[in-house]
Amino acid sequence: MAEVKLLERVLKANEVWAEEIRRMLRERRIFCANLIGSPGSGKTTLLEKSIPLLGDPSGLAVIEGDLATSRDADRIGRCGVDSIQIATGTGCHIDAHHVRQALDRIGLDNRRMIFIENVGNLVCPAEFDIGEHAKVAVLSVPEGDEKPLKYPPLFQASALVVLTKTDLIPYTDFSRDEFMKNVSLVNPTLPVMEVCCKTGEGLDRWVEWLETQYRAAFP
């Protein structure tokens, strides 16, 4: 019972911070996407390839989450975009309080989009509201086509699935048809977008989706 009450208090506090973040983003007309995927799914590479296609880099910012090191934030910083690393230690996700502190450090003036690359995990990040406009599930071909059935909360909470490393399909047992069927079983209205960062295929559609989401959030 004590553990349940503690979890309730944690979730309640997280909700308060998430609402505060939403208010801040709404007032400044900043769109925020929360990228969730396994380690190695291609989240950081997707951001690296997207940044040059999104216009003025000064209008962008990236919050990186990992248990340790600043390697991903350093990679993004080399793209000319302000980035900040959240080291969660043993924590399996970023919470809203982490994000609120990061926003203070990175600054919101003249921002248009903020990306949060969550800790590599398909479970915990899906359960926490961090004030984002959209959760984006990032899955790679080598992970297999069964993941939607094994980790349904992520696919139920996400606004989009980005399937990466599609150039590897001929060399794996991955089935597009099976993957799409499994996504539909969990969330029939969830769109799937294929992207290959190596060739650039699909990046234009991904960027257009982001711009469409921005316009919908701030008409």
**Do 119 and 92 contact (CB within 8 A), yes or no?**
yes
Q: Which residue has the tokens 């711009």?
A: 211
pLDDT of amino acid 9: 74
| Helices and strands in the chain, H and E counts | 9, 7
According to DSSP H, which parts of 84-217 are helical? 96-106, 124-127, 147-150, 152-157, 176-186, 203-217
The pair of structure tokens assigned to 211 is: 């711009």
pLDDT of amino acid 91: 87
**CA dist list (Å): 203 to 49, 191, 210, 214, 216:** 8, 15, 11, 17, 20
pLDDT of amino acid 210: 98
pLDDT of amino acid 12: 84
Give pLDDT tens digits along the chain (219 positions).
Answer: 555 555 567 678 899 999 999 999 999 999 999 999 999 999 999 999 999 999 999 999 999 999 999 999 999 999 999 999 999 998 898 999 999 999 999 999 999 999 999 999 999 999 999 999 999 999 999 999 999 999 999 999 999 999 999 999 999 999 999 999 999 999 999 999 999 999 999 999 999 999 999 999 999
The pair of structure tokens assigned to 169 is: 């399909």
Please give the helix or strand (H or E) that residue 75 lies within, else none: helix 71-77
Domains of the chain: 2-217 (3.40.50.300)
pTM of the model: 0.94
Please give the helix or strand (H or E) that residue 187 lies within, else none: none
The pair of structure tokens assigned to 129 is: 């509201």
Q: Map residue 119 onto helix, strand or coil.
A: coil
**Do 68 and 48 contact (CB within 8 A), yes or no?**
no
Q: Which residue has the tokens 């248990």?
A: 67
